A and B are shown apart, each in its own frame.
Chain A
Amino acid sequence: MKPAVQRILIMSAILCAMASLAPAQGIQLNASVDQARVEVGSVIVYSLEISSISQMNANPTMPDFGGLQVVNTNGPFRENRMTIINGSSNVSTILRWQLRAPTQGTFTIGSSQLEYGGQTYRSRPIAVTVTMQAPPMIPDDLKHEGILPAQSNNAAVNKQLNGRLFLRVEVSDKRPYVSEPVLVTYKIYWDNIPIRGLQYPNEQLKAGGGLLDERFRAQGDIQPATETHGDRAYQVAPILQYTLTPTQPGDAEIGAYFVAVQLPVQRQSGRGPFDDSFFGDPFGANTMQVQLPAAPVKLEVRPLPTDGQPANFSATVGSFTLKASADRSTMRQDELLTLDVTLEGRGAVELASPPRFPDNDAFEVVDQTARMDTARPKDYVGGTKHFQYSLRPRKFGRIQVPSISYPVFDSEREAYRALRTEPVPVTVQPLPQGVAAEPAAPGGASVTRKVGNGPQLNFVQAIGSVRHGRVEPAMESPLMWLFLVGGSMLILAMWYRDWRRATLDPAAARRNGAWRAFEKRLRRIKAKGGDGRNAEVAGAFEHAVRNLIADHYNTSAEGMTRDEIARLLAGSNLTREQVARLLERLDACAWASYSPIDSPIDVRAWSEETRAVLREGLRA
């Protein structure tokens, strides 16, 4: 290291040490804002700088922001700086808060206080003037909806975007009845502005008390269309849809919401940021975030009228039709009929409770299920719901599934209606002679009864005798664990015996490895080039077969004669013909390997056949 650099480092270290040891001196507490005059909704940055000539460990109090809303609720952004000028150091800490101006007026940010070394330091109060926003240049036909203008940190951009980019809330009905679903759609409108990445806030849409909400359309599913309002042709894309179902009468509110979009901008000065040529940044490197707020929407939830409300009304509101169909028209007495009751139309069809199957002497309900059709309409809340009843006939002959009545409140007609299905005729054939019908009397097994207005619960089960005693967990059975431990011990003992047998008996070990060696030799023969007729291949094949037989019978392959091979193979599973054929092939291979001329035999073809014959013949 150079001496000059060393000196600088040593000096810096000494200065730092002195700074940390020395008492705080020359403390200053300065407050400032980046803009003293802003529009409603704009963000102001309030900075509080504590500077001293040495490091100090003290925190100033948070000032009273006088009605301005703090955006960074997790605490201020903190920045530390240290400067050394002409040998004198200055340490400063800057705390920054982002504040939003909620309404028009003059707001005074109070002073902050810092106590250190027995002294109190105060920052000066700052006044911020908040003016009204430029009136949104929304088309006349949308003005009554209270659409808010787009907001960014740049006033010039806000001015350019006014009326050209906004978020609109569409509510299907602002005066719904209790239990009548409302479709809320958020749409982005833009006019000749290349919007990019859409960002949704982390927080969900806040539905007020008494509203059940369900997301209807997935975020990001943007399909723009063109809409003309006034003299402007807007690109319009629905970005979010919610279904809200009011659960209590009175006023309800759909909370404020916002999304953010990225707009590509150029870093050019002296021109309007959204002049058409402004969007010429081919790489899209520079973007600006713009927030599109939507104001809260108030709903007036009307109570369902009590006059004329049917006794068995189950709070299903909407405009529906009800149909019934059976899965067959003829059945046996011991079969079950499936009745499909379909409720279809606009309204809270998904929340609809199943219609009550009427008391009758023709059929009884054994089971019932409900399911929604997966296809849902896009433009309104509704759909199709199927209620399926498994019905058991109580008698035979030409009988009818009775008409099912289902009271609903029709919000379009503003009156209660009783939907009814048509009776479904069914022919029930009696059971053949000798077949007994299942008991259907009370106390019998597996019958269903309807009780009062409550759910259709299955009946109690018939019990012949009570099962006494406790059911102990089988996991704690000592017998089971005894068998498992015994089995494990046994398999370990057998494995050890098998291993000993294989390793301590050389003949067995050689026999066990014989096939592996044989297969390896055959693979080498196959890997050799040529057409399989040359002397080298024939010799290798003969060698492989001889070694296999020698290994299998634990004898020497060297000098093993034709008679010896025949004698050894006589004790195998090979037939005499197979042995004779094998010996002939070995002779032919031996001849071919010593012959000076090419042999006519195809050793490769032989090798596959011989392998199969020997595998079967030498099997124990």
Chain B
Amino acid sequence: MRRLAAMIMALMLSSAAWAATGEEQLLERANKAFTAQNYKESAEIYEQLIEQAPHDPRLLYNLGTAYAHLGDRGLAQWRYLQALQFAPRDRMLRQNLSIIDPEYETQIALTPLPPLNMVYWLMSGNEWTAIAAWASVAGLFLGAWALWRPRGTRLRLSLRKTAIAAAVVAAVAWPFAFGHYHQECMVRRGVIVSPEGSVRSGPSENSTETWKLKAGTVVDITDERTHPDWPMISFGGKGAGFISRDQIRRL
């Protein structure tokens, strides 16, 4: 029995090690292809890796950079915006984004107030949520402790002050945390990936073209169940319509 367990363990470890070795090789190949300016091959390998690690911001960034060098602005911006959700403070990512779309900050702005947007993008949704949750839990437990102590004692006063400070931090952090959650999980957003996204009045090629959206435009997907191949989108309160599935990617 022990032997069997040891064999299974060894098999699992070796398969994990083999998988890791395979990934490292792929990474090396992708970087080499990029350095040799073979961006197409580099992008293909990064795409393979992203299937296994879809939320790794470094992979998303590298893939976006490969697409940017290929001149595919839509796909590059889509991958960069995905990466931005997980690594909002990544300076290189932001620089590249601003090169391919100088107005990207306007597209991803939560409010019309730039200082609020700056604070909002200081951290990712999970970071804001962690701060808000920890501050709330700390405030609640410290407040409970303060109430447990007799009135008038120094400890109670100190605990009360600390609990109030934690509550203030939580009150600041929660709106940003909910803002991220709303933008990233509740609102379905997409990025136009074709050079000229053709928005039509109906869900078919025969419908009238009402708008043309440039690659990299962030839009809201309002309905993708009724016509899965022609999701309905709206953009910035300016217009709405249907767009072919191959011209848009979910953010």
Q: Which residues of A contact B (CB under 8 A)?
A: 367, 442-443, 446, 451-452, 454-463, 465-471, 473-476, 480, 483-484, 487-488, 490-491, 493-495, 497-498, 502, 508, 512, 619-620
Contacts and interface: CB of A to CB of B under 8 A. Distances in A.
Given A458-B92, A460-B65, A497 B151 contact: no
15 contacts: A455-B100, A457-B65, A457-B96, A460-B31, A460-B62, A460-B66, A461-B92, A463-B59, A465-B24, A467-B53, A475-B177, A480-B129, A491-B147, A619-B152, A619-B154
- 6 nearest A-B residue pairs (beta carbon): A487-B140, A494-B147, A458-B92, A474-B129, A442-B35, A460-B62
A494 B144 contact: yes
A518 to B, nearest CB: 14
Given A451-B69, A458-B65, A498-B151, 4 more contacts: A457-B99, A466-B52, A491-B143, A620-B153
Contacts of A473: 125-126, 129, 181, 184-185
A476 B152 CA distance: 40
A495 B148 CA distance: 8
A473 B181 CA distance: 7
Interface string B2-41: 0000000000000000001001100100111011010000
B121 interface: no
The binding surface of chain B is classed by DSSP as helix
A460 B144 contact: no
Nearest to B181: A475
A318 to B, nearest CB: 21
Contacts of A497: 147-148
B69 A483 contact: no
A7 B218 CA distance: 72
B49 interface: yes
A493 B148 CA distance: 9
Contacts, number: 135
B251 interface: no
A474 B130 contact: yes
The binding surface of chain A is classed by DSSP as loop
Most buried by B among A446, A458, A498: A458
Given A467-B55, A467-B56, A495-B147, A457 B133 contact: no
B54 interface: yes
B137 interface: yes
B34 A460 contact: yes
B185 A620 contact: no
A153 B40 CA distance: 70
Contacts of B99: 455-457
Nearest to A449: B35
Contacts of B23: 465-466
Interface in B132-182: 133, 136-137, 139-141, 143-145, 147-148, 150-154, 177-178, 181
B226 to A, nearest CB: 27
Contacts of B249: none
Contacts of A483: 133, 137
Nearest to A446: B92
B65 A491 contact: no
Nearest to B130: A474
A55 B42 CA distance: 81
A541 to B, nearest CB: 24
B71 interface: yes
Contact of A491 (B34, B54, B140): B140
B188 interface: no
Contacts of B130: 474
A487 B137 contact: yes
Interface string B82-106: 0000100000110110011000000
B69 A454 contact: yes
Contacts of A443: 31-32, 35
Most buried by A among B20, B92, B93, B151: B92
A484 B151 contact: no
A452 B145 CA distance: 64
Contacts of A493: 144
Contacts of B42: 460
Most buried by B among A465, A466, A483: A466
Most buried by B among A452, A456, A461: A461
A485 B103 CA distance: 41
B65 A502 contact: no
A468 B136 contact: no
A461 B58 contact: yes
B96 to A, nearest CB: 5
A458 B96 contact: yes
B53 A466 contact: yes
Contact of B86 (A471, A476, A491): A471
A498 B148 CA distance: 7
Nearest to A619: B152
Given A451-B69, A457-B99, A475-B177, A490 B141 contact: yes
